[in-house]
């Protein structure tokens, strides 16, 4: 893919633990390789703990700062990695919820993978959307009045003035990253 994201700035938000390793690191690496500037914000700032398959501790990753210091107006897109603990923590964090709503209200791209869409439910932004996620999140999304849940490696939905990109699992990361890059090139 011949992609240039020069001048694009992307915020990746996480808790400080329970993050699915590849769902954090692969978007950071891939989108940086296309020339985008990526910022990793975590709830507390500092060190974040990644996991493999939600159960095995993997590496720690330094975030660039606390979620509280970031604002949607400063970025072109928001990425929400999965991991059960990560997503469940983000859905309860006021700064994560504020950021999601800032991106949506500004008509920007929001991308969430695996359990990441849980945070979108609590932000109250998925009504009328068609999306995908890790299969166990399906019922929560449908009950939260998402228009439809589909079993696809990536689903992009542009309804209601903003772009939502979702994927199911780490195996879908190539399609997920490509969809984010294409959405930002089109913006």
Residues tagged active-site? 114-115
* H or E segment to which residue 20 belongs: strand 19-20
Closest CA to 11 of 92, 138, 100: 100
Distance in angstroms (rounded) separating the CA atoms of residues 133 and 156: 12
Rg (CA), the chain: 14
Report yes or no: 117 and 141 within 8 Å, Cβ to Cβ: yes
* 3-class SS of residue 144: coil
Helices (H), 21-167: 21-33, 84-90, 94-105, 117-123, 138-143
Cβ neighbours of residue 47 closer than 8 Å, sequence gap 6 or more:
16, 60, 61, 62, 63
CB 125 within 8 A of CB 145: no
């Amino acid at each position: 893919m011949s992609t240039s994201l020069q001048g694009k700035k992307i915020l990746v938000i996480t808790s400080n633990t329970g993050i699915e390793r590849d769902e954090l690191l692969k978007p950071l690496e891939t989108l940086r390789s296309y020339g985008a500037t990526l910022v990793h914000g975590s709830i507390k700032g500092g060190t974040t703990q990644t996991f493999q398959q939600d159960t095995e501790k993997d590496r720690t990753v330094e975030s660039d700062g606390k979620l509280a210091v970031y604002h949607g107006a400063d970025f072109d897109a928001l990425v929400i990695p999965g991991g059960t603990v990560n997503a469940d923590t983000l859905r309860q964090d006021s700064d994560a919820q504020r950021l999601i709503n800032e991106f949506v209200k500004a008509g920007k791209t929001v991308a969430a993978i695996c359990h990441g869409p849980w945070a979108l439910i609590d932000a109250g932004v998925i009504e009328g959307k068609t999306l995908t996620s890790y299969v166990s999140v399906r019922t929560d999304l449908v009950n939260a009045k998402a228009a439809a849940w589909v079993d696809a490696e990536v689903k992009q939905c542009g309804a209601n003035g903003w772009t939502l990109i979702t994927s199911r699992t780490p195996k879908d990361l190539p399609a997920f990253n490509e969809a984010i890059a294409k959405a930002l090139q089109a913006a």
